Chain A
């Protein structure tokens, strides 16, 4: 009985590979597409290990997220959270098929306790690298985990009623960006991340201390490949 089952399994494997390689039978086998939209050559299986995008090195993507930043640490008492957003622009891989490279830009705002109309407006910009790994699912319904690191800068100013022109201050900025991507279709994914952003200045302000800010920013967004 076992030998019969083994034989059937072997025959099935052979048959599928034979079908895949026989040019006369090619139209009967539908090529699979990966999450990134590129067709996988017949006879190959979609990638399942680290670097889920290695077959889509020429693909680009745009990701738009809504964010709700929350200041961390003792400084949290000085700020209230407001909705913000981030946009990410993924470029074709140039370092490795296993490493995503993308640029980020966005906006976060923080109010002050007490219901005042004062808002600290922050505009960060990053250049990022990320590692990703497909966790489960077929090529079209995959869940991808990723973790990225970004470096860049941020502009910020204090917005208050009556302000004619903003006094912009620049900061150095870094971020650590872990998250997940859930494939909805061949070209569209839903993303969720929990980046932590670090802003720090070099000059001592009126307080005599160099300014810094650390905040967690849960995000939810959509990613489109093209």
Chain B
């Protein structure tokens, strides 16, 4: 529920700030948010663009399939997880595998990372590509972090969006990254 008093106060302060600064100005967050930026990047721009800061490869990972519509990445491979692309945080909370963050990159494309430690980002914050969004921690015995890619709200295989510099690290042996 949005606090109406805070909304009114925020609108007045932002309007005054905009008048004084004469230009696009984000108000209210330590990370400037531009809601129209979701429309600036096309889906085509997102193809083969994701940064997956995987230092130890995807060995032992569980690939995407119809019954498992996400990648499960072992946490012992790296200690931090970064935002795969620029976007805006639209969801954050505690899931079954740990804390999760969902980032909207374009109007149609979003990613969700679940199994990280308490995130420092808030709903509404903007993130840059490669920006750290959380540290990987084990939670209730799990040692994987789940990585989702949503296109128009439907989970899809992340492979088409991963940048070429990271594709070689993806384990494609007997375990297919996408099935």
* Partner-B contacts on A (CB < 8 A): 71, 74-75, 77-79, 112-116, 118, 120, 153, 155-172, 199, 201-203, 205-207, 209-213
Most B CB contacts (10 A, CB to CB) among A74, A156, A169, A209 go to A169
| B29 CB contacts on chain A under 8 angstroms | 167
Q: Could you tell me the distance between the alpha carbons of A226 and B63 in the complex, rounded to whole angstroms?
A: 68
Contact B108 A77 (CB under 8 A): yes
Contact B33 A114 (CB under 8 A): no
Number of interface residues of B (CB under 8 A): 53
- The distance from the CB of A141 to the nearest CB of chain B, in whole angstroms, is 42
Contact B40 A157 (CB under 8 A): no
> Does B43 sit within 8 A of A, measured CB to CB?
yes
Q: Could you tell me the distance between the alpha carbons of A113 and B107 in the complex, rounded to whole angstroms?
A: 7
Which B residues between 2 and 35 are near A, CB-CB below 8 angstroms? Answer: 2-3, 6-7, 10-11, 14-15, 17-18, 23-29, 32-35
CB < 8 Å neighbour of B18 from A114, A164, A170: A170
Most A CB contacts (10 A, CB to CB) among B2, B35, B39 go to B35
| B110 CB contacts on chain A under 8 angstroms | 116
Contact flag A158-B35 (CB < 8 Å), given A78-B106, A171-B24: yes
> Does B179 sit within 8 A of A, measured CB to CB?
no
Contact B28 A166 (CB under 8 A): yes
> Does B36 sit within 8 A of A, measured CB to CB?
yes
Select from chain A the residue with minimum beta-carbon distance to B23. A202
Select from chain A the residue with minimum beta-carbon distance to B152. A114
Contact A74 B42 (CB under 8 A): yes
- The distance from the CB of B44 to the nearest CB of chain A, in whole angstroms, is 10
Contact B23 A209 (CB under 8 A): no
